[in-house]
Amino acid sequence: MSTEIPTKKVRVKALVASLIGSSIEYYDYLLYGTVAALVFNKLFFPNFDPTVGLLIALASFGIPYFFRPLGGIIFSHIGDRLGRKKSLVLTLAIMGISTALIGFLPVYESIGAWAPILLVTLRLIQGIAVGGEWGGAVLLAVEYSEKKTRGFAGSIPMMGAAVGMILATATMSLMSLLPDGQFLSWGWRVPFIGSLILVFLGLWIRNGLEETPDFQKAKEEGTVSKLPIVDTFKYHWKEVILTTGAKAIETAPFYIFATFGISYATNNLNMPQGPVLNAITIGTLISLVMIPLMGHLSDRVGRKKVFIAGTLGVIVFSIPYFFLLSKRSILLLTIAVMIGYALWSVITAVLGTMFSEMFKPEVRYTGISVGYQLGAAIFGGTAPLIATSLVATFNGSYLPAAIYLMLLGVLSLICISLVKTMSEEEKVAIKQIKPGLLHNTRFLK
């Protein structure tokens, strides 16, 4: 297969498989974040002050992010050694089962401390599974695509987070129409258990694909790494650090605009849950349009230019975002979320392709997964908790949270500025002079 050019039909199927699978994974994962801000602090952590209970619930959302790098290592090892497809089937199955089990969990009143223990355990399993999902979904899209359209192809699985958020918030908006008693009793469970239907659909589609051309070629040429994680840190440790830092401004805004935005608007500003969730849904719909457009634009002007533009936008908009929320207006909140998610879309659209172009096929799954998941662990899962803590510490002021987001943007700009760029002709010339040099030099479009 490595000598054959995939047909358009196969390339489209790969894009659909990457999008559907990543959408299901993020629906399962982000559903927890939405419910954590509305339900878990009441049902699983009830013996605390409301603010403390919310912080603990958000911590249960964020702590598993530190297990995502572990999942990235485990499943990327499978992906780089045995194939992308095998890894992606495993991650989706594990994610689906753990999510459904959350829907069946008894609450604190029924089994006491075992309720939060089991909840966090299943959340950790979710984190491990999603840690291996993202890299495989991106490579499924990028490695099947033509080089001239890799920016667009790589943006498709990046839509998975937006699709997952739409599904999560839309289903929760629907269930929140129930009376409070019914919603807290059983309504919140339905989206978790119902996700099994989507999981079976995703597994069916992914099983119908062969391995990617790049992996097939590495396998046939005998260049498959025996220990991808060792080779990654031996030859690509700088790229791992840079991807980790660049990830900061992509992951933190997503969760601050969503998970923290929900809790801040409902708990601090006393705004109704339903309209707040609807605003998040509208914002993510905007991102569904923006992401493929920005991916296509990156094929014309380059990944870095698009990434930098989006990052500067988030930095400038950080304070206005919170200012608009503080007005307690559903209209202004919706506008703020729409702008925030549009700016986030610019960044996330190019992230997958940009990272994949920094690593060789033999360690590409491992390289992008470790860097991406480290960034998600350090800057993503902690974002709602840090933002909530800052608001509480400074007597409800949103300014420290906004400044924190701006500083993450500066960090990402520094990291992306250190990524080297080089033309295809220069790469060929260097490879002819000293092939081993490519182990230590990575390139972006």
What are the tens digits of pLDDT across the range 307-332?
A: 999 999 999 999 999 899 888 888 99
Contacting residues for 383 by C-beta, under 8 A, at least 6 apart: 62, 251, 252, 255, 256, 259, 260
Mean pLDDT score, 187-208? 84
Asked if residue 280 lies in contact with residue 337, where contact means CB atoms within 8 angstroms, the answer is: yes
Alpha helices in 4-113 (DSSP H): 8-35, 41-43, 50-62, 68-81, 84-104, 108-111
Q: End-to-end CA distance of the chain, in Å?
A: 26
**Are the CB atoms for 136 and 88 separated by under 8 Å?**
yes
Predicted local distance difference test score (pLDDT) of residue 438: 42
Q: Does 303 have pLDDT greater than 80? A: yes
pLDDT number for residue 70: 87
CA distance 381 to 66: 8
pLDDT (tens digit per residue) in 17-27? 888 878 887 78
What percent of the chain lies above the pLDDT cut of 70?
87
Residue type, 313: G
pLDDT reading at 421 higher than 90: no
- 238, two tokens: 């700088």
Predicted confidence at residue 53, as pLDDT, reads 62
pLDDT confidence of residue 204: 84
Q: What is the CA radius of gyration of the chain?
A: 21
pLDDT digits (tens, 9 = 90+) for 100-129: 899 999 988 888 888 888 888 888 888 888
Return the number of other C-beta atoms located less than 10 Å from residue 404's C-beta.
16
Percentage of the chain lying above the pLDDT 90 cut: 22
Contact 262, 38 (CB under 8 A): yes
Q: Is the four-CA dihedral 268, 272, 275, 280 of positive or negative sign?
A: positive
For residue 238, pLDDT beyond 60: yes
pLDDT bin (cut points 50, 70, 90) of residue 50 is: low
pLDDT tens per residue, range 359-384: 888 889 999 999 988 898 888 877 87
At residue 1 the predicted structure's pLDDT band, cuts being 50, 70 and 90, is very low
Pair 249, 412: CB distance under 8 Å: yes
- Most confident of the following: 206-210, 301-305, 326-330: 301-305
Find the mean pLDDT for residues 170-185: 82
> Averaged over 218-231, what is the pLDDT?
84
- pLDDT reported for residue 432: 46
Token digits of residue 185: 């009793």
As a whole number of angstroms, the distance between CA 319 and CA 9 comes to: 45
At 4 the pLDDT is: 62
Residue 2's pLDDT is 42
Give domain limits for the chain.
Answer: 8-439
Residue 26, amino acid: Y
Q: What pLDDT, on the 0 to 100 scale, is given for residue 342?
A: 93
CA distance 111 to 336: 41
Separation between Cα atoms, residue 243 and residue 223, nearest integer Å: 24
In this prediction, residue 298 carries a pLDDT of 94
Fold for the domain defined by 8-439: Growth Hormone; Chain: A; (1.20.1250)
Check residue 101 and give its pLDDT.
92
Greater pLDDT, 431 or 313? 313
